[in-house]
Amino acid sequence: MKISNIEFNKLLNAIKCCYAESVVELLPKTEDFPKEIFLEEKIDLQILSNIIDRISDYYFKSVAMRIIAISELRAARDSNTEFSLKKVWKLIADSILMLPISATISSIGSQGFLSIPLFKDDKEKKNFDFIRLHIWDDSLSKYIEQQKCQDFSIHTHSFYAKSWILCGKVINDRFKIVEVDTPTDLSLFTVGYNQTLNIVNQHFSVAENKNKYILSQQISHEEYMSGGTYAINAGEYHRSGSKGQNGFSATLFSFTANNGRVEQSYVVGPAESISSEINRKMLIDPTKLIEKVNNELK
């Protein structure tokens, strides 16, 4: 695969912002990449792949692996074609495991999974693109406020989303939501994030009641296993979770504006709540969970 120099620089920056700020200065710049990968205003990712083994700098190796993995995933997603999920996963897993834990941003998402950002391009809403690793496991339950997680589980996304299941069993329930004038038990909430620690995964989020009463009806229940994939349109109400053994499942999850976006996303919650703060446990060591995914994919 070959990409333009401009695309390479965008890709590099969108990947580097997903490492911890403490290691940013250790990550490679464009000029640090071998000249042999730059051919006729194009970057040859196959040549980059071939030279990774001879590079001794682990920060360089990690970023190079993610460049190849994210490029393959995005190209397949945007063209709606197949790709080697196991190959992409191995590159991502190795890129995390070869570095100190302090280099990885990891937090518990509002839906109860471990979230690791891999790529984020948010310079313009019309080109927004965000890719994360999600891992569910019962060992994470100690970090999760279970009742809040359940009460605020139905939600929408501002951007088209797609999920690729690495292992386990993931459920996706879809809902029809209708606003009504008469008070009900449920209301729509918007979610705001604090601006500390890191721009891609925040410390906590606050759901604020917009006093829009709603009726909720589940319209589908879907289950996906390793190798499966599902998509959620921008603004579509859904709830996802894990039914894997011991709650264990892992996915690669993508948001992109290329397939649609809406201005506002919502969460469904109890109408009696004025607001609800959801704390997001940060800096969780993902090593054992990543190795668990590796064992599942052998």
* Amino acid 41: pLDDT: 78
Residues 21-47: what's their mean pLDDT? 90
Structure tokens at 243: 């039914």
Domain boundaries, the chain: 2-97, 105-297
Q: Give Cα separations from 184 to 77, 153, 190 (angstroms).
A: 40, 17, 18
75 — pLDDT class (breaks 50, 70, 90):
very high
Give residue-wise pLDDT tens across range 98-118.
999 999 999 887 788 999 999
Amino acid 9 reads N
Considering the entire predicted model, what is its pTM?
Answer: 0.92
Give residue-wise pLDDT tens across range 181-215.
999 999 999 987 644 434 444 455 788 999 999 99
Give residue-wise pLDDT tens across range 247-278.
999 999 999 999 889 989 999 999 999 978 76
Give residue-wise pLDDT tens across range 228-253.
999 999 999 999 999 999 999 999 99
Q: What are phi and psi for residue 143, nearest 5 degrees?
A: -95, -5
* Amino acid 163: pLDDT: 97
Residues 40-61: what's their mean pLDDT? 90
CATH H superfamily, domain 105-297: Jelly Rolls (2.60.120.10)
